[in-house]
Structure 1
């Protein structure tokens, strides 16, 4: 499970290809967990804190598109207030 992250300027769009997971998103007004299974499409607006995890014994595989394109190494910031305790 990864650390919780927030993006400064980009939105992300995910499409799950295989596996099973969960993603937690918190935009400051609403916090929710969404199941990630093949065929699931989600969006993550800039400024939204998010964290995801694999919940099965197979790889969680997804496509990730950012809009606009990824600007630089300072785009993503780790945050301490994630949903789950990170393992990586």
Structure 2
């Protein structure tokens, strides 16, 4: 059994730009706490082998998702909203409010490394401050 808190969780940077904390790791998946500062627009990507599930805790933002079948749309990210990023879906997110956009992100199976994210062009120009990269969004 494991217990983690935000204060004790290791921190890093996702390949898309968000500030992250590594909350939980297991054989079938892992969970991070993601913070997107005001004005930040993450890099667009699709994943090679995982699905992700996000749950918004605070702040405001948007996620653009484009499925392999061509279905696409923008979803408003506000507290209480949960979205999926199915394998093969291209996506991009941004913080649209004056406070950071904060959400948990669960990856299934566990995040294999930064090569998982294939960076592509998205609908918005990325705005990410330069810092070292670390893990999943």
Fold equivalence (TM over 0.5)? yes
Provide the aligned length of Structure 1 versus Structure 2.
87
Where does the alignment leave 5 or more consecutive residues of structure 1 unmatched? none
2:93 counterpart (30, 33, 52): 52
2:57 counterpart (1, 12, 17): 17
Matched, 1:71 2:112: yes
Where does the alignment leave 5 or more consecutive residues of structure 2 unmatched? 1-40, 129-137
Report which structure shows greater RCO (CA 8 Å, sep ≥6).
1
What TM-score comes out, normalization by structure 2 length?
Answer: 0.62
Q: CA RMSD in A?
A: 0.8
Which aligned segments of 4 or more residues in structure 1 are displaced greater than 6 angstroms? Answer: none
How many Å separate the matches in 2 of 1:48 and 1:12? 10
Please identify the structure whose Cα radius of gyration is greater. 2
What TM-score comes out, normalization by structure 1 length?
Answer: 0.94
Structure that is richer in strand per residue: 1
| Cα shift at 1:83 | 1.3
